[in-house]
Structure 1
Amino acid sequence: MAGTMTFAETRQQPSESEARILGVVLRSNGATQPEIARATGLSQQTVSRLVNDLLASGALVQGGKRSSGRRGQPTVELAIAPPFAYSLGIALMTDAMSIALMDFSGRVVGHEYFTMPVMSRKAVFARIDEVRERLLAATPLARERLVGAGIGILGPCLDGKARFNPPRALDEFAMVPIDELFAERLGLPCWAESDGNAAAVGESFLGAGRSFANFVYIYVAAGLGGGIIINNRLLRGSHGNSGEIGRMLPWRNFQIPTLETLLDSLRKAGVELDGLSTMLARFDPEWPGVDEWISRSRDQFSLIASGIAALVDPEAIVFGGRIPPELAAKLLPAIELFDDARREMPRPLPRIIASQTGFDACAVGAAMLPLEQTYYATML
């Protein structure tokens, strides 16, 4: 993170216990004090005191009353106060960029996606300035309550922090501290993560993480990446590259199953498409070439998913990224988790599910980074 004094830094930061409470309320989409106490392990007295502080600060609001099913007064549900803070999420892709404005509850209040003929610094920052002004004009309160910006970018991390080695299309963003570069240009604190890690963070707070504390996210796009969530927190690894799922398959021995190889399959089958963004905008699961791609990709995805199940033992494996929901619906049933099924009680296996964020995965996850780091929790 880099930047000057801004909204987030002028406001008192939550304690670790307060951050845990905020995280429980966000993931639960509303919770009562007894539920918070059970989820955090904090005493009821401590929860009551900290909740009152969070209500006074404006981070939480009281919602409706909920019956406990017992005699006595109903309990009051607590909710995240959406206008308490805002953040920007920026997703840098090889052929496109998307920007999301998110409120404190994780709701995307503004979003723009656009193809980019050239992903140069000049073109990217000019478009960010233009879009940011439009988004903030539409939500004026966000202008004075902007916590910072998160950036999701393709490629492995080089220093465990914010230097990445992206594809050639992003040459001007390679090998430099992305957080410092964007902070200097935007005048905001900035955080950077690989696209898979960023998407996993978003999924943890706003999607599958509401049901599963432990899952692995597979990010399917021009490349193949991912992120690992353990006990509701992102596992970054020693160099920030935990979840580099595409590296599990040696490219000399396997065709890496990506949306680029899907595009090639469609073109060979006669579908006229000028690029990845066009394919995704027009995607039809009945196009010739789709089933062939699934047939050629299912063994690779099965190897990856089975390796994840054996090594990490998560509750779920979540397929997301830029994969169209219609494609995920056809692909996921074809994936096999290898197991010897010994005796009548085989080992428990993770569920394979599609992403539940239902939005631009990398931009949503990137927008969660400033909120997560400032108010909700810290990464492992």
Structure 2
Amino acid sequence: MKKFIYLLKIEFRRIFSNGVLVAVFFGAPILYGLMFGNVYKKGKITDMPIAVIDEDNTPMSGKIIDALNDNENLAVKKVQYDAGNLAAEMPSKNYIAVVTIPSGFEADIYQKRYPELLVDINMSNLVPANFASRGIQAVLGTVSAGVEIEALKKAGTDPVSAAQRYEPFKVNYNRLYNPASNYMELMMPGILGTILQQVLFLGLALVFARDVEDGYFKKLAIANKWSLYHIVLKALPFIILIIPMWLIVAGFYPVFNIEIQVFTWPMALLVTIFTFACMFIGMLFSLLVPNQLRATELLMVLATPSFLLSGYTWPMESMPRLIQQFANMLPLTHFLEGFRRIAVYKGTFKDIQPQMSALAWITAICFVMMVALLQIKINKERKVGILAS
């Protein structure tokens, strides 16, 4: 035990002597967490610039323009009263939409000619485009309903009957799990999970690769002949260091007023098995590729597309089968689905059993491979040492 504690102290010193590792391991989760938290702080997009071509210039068109400007998602930045191609100004003025009200619009409405509005949506970025489309659709739908009801009232129909005739039945939408469409609640879990997977991959990719490069692995092989001993020795410092890091990351949720419960026992279990899966993948690569630069490069190639492939923002069922199989080999895929089931759906241990099983299999397979490969390397190193002596 004294020898183990002595070697453990050396491990901590070696970790903290690597400035890049310390900066990545501690700085990345905190820095990126604060940065992305402030990026998505508003939760939804407001005051997106739109333009209106009002060829009608009547009280009705004015009412539409006022209603568009009153919508929280929209801001009318320009009104043009003659025909023109404002859509061509989208790249320079950054308009998210251009609404064209044709000449004779009001007259056509009152004469039941069913006129048509033209809405050009800037689809270069789907997120603001969807917010803008929904906002414009809500405004125009409300105005349209108001015009129809007023027409019925002028024809002699009482207000209640007019509303009922226009809307013969009601539809109530119950928006579950993020009813406010808060983009922060959607993105922050995925971003933070991705960052911590990257950090664990990078940190653990260096443990054995660095030892082989600077010759320290020979001393470790002589100190103890069992691979399990060295795995515990290498993993324990990172386990100790990652606990406060997870607590800091979880603390971002109350700091940024994200209404997601993360301090629960199911979440703690999910985080634990996810951490071990990431650690063992990193350690396995460190043994397979005993070169710090190459090991980190390969793990970055593996981890970079993990968020996109996880199914968190784009359904995995829409991906090709081969890509789905690759995504299921990555811990982040199962962690984010488990996170959604616990934190968003308020699920239990039973709800995340498939994700826990998948992470457990990844952990077990990497662990067995790592134990076997490390034992072979230790035996080889000790044999060389014996022959040399």
Whose radius of gyration is greater, 1 or 2?
2
The TM-score with structure 1 as length reference comes to 0.24
The TM-score with structure 2 as length reference comes to 0.24
Structure having the larger proportion of residues in helix: 2
Structure having the larger proportion of residues in strand: 1
